[in-house]
Amino acid sequence: MAEHIVAGIIKEDIPAIPMNLTKWHRSEIMTEVFDAKAVVLGSPTLNNQLYPSLADFICYMKGLKPLNKIGAAFGSYGWSGEAVKMLNQELEAMNFDIIDPGLRTQYVPDQEALASCYELGRKIGKAVKG
């Protein structure tokens, strides 16, 4: 899902850096967040909650108070699917400008879901342009 969102953003001539919390340190990610105009968060729903490493990062990000950001969320789920709603609530709490209600897909995304991810990326890119 993230790769298709990034492809949509890049299609709008906006640079995008996908950052996986298992590969990047949270302080490195925050450096990019401060420079970014938009932040897109993705998480599967795990036990009716956000994925733990993302919940930890959000706590860290909230403490550093990034300002004037566009926000969007996406995620997958098995049976309940609360993660996207929770991500939007966290972004709203940080005063991000939420430009889309978010994308949710059950289990592994199919071609239709991936096409929606690409379109979300384009929407984000257009919002960044103003």
Read off the pLDDT of residues 7-44 as tens digits, 9 standing for 90 and up.
999 999 999 999 999 999 999 999 999 999 999 999 99
| pLDDT number for residue 27 | 96
| pLDDT number for residue 98 | 98
pLDDT band at 102 (very low <50, low <70, confident <90, very high): very high
For the question of whether the overall pTM of this predicted structure is more than 0.85, the answer is: yes
End-to-end, the C-alpha distance of the chain in Å comes to 24
CA distances 56 to 8, 9, 62, 86, 101, Å, are 27, 26, 10, 13, 22
pLDDT band at 86 (very low <50, low <70, confident <90, very high): very high
| pLDDT number for residue 55 | 97
CA distance 36 to 38: 5
Q: What is the mean pLDDT of residues 50-69?
A: 97
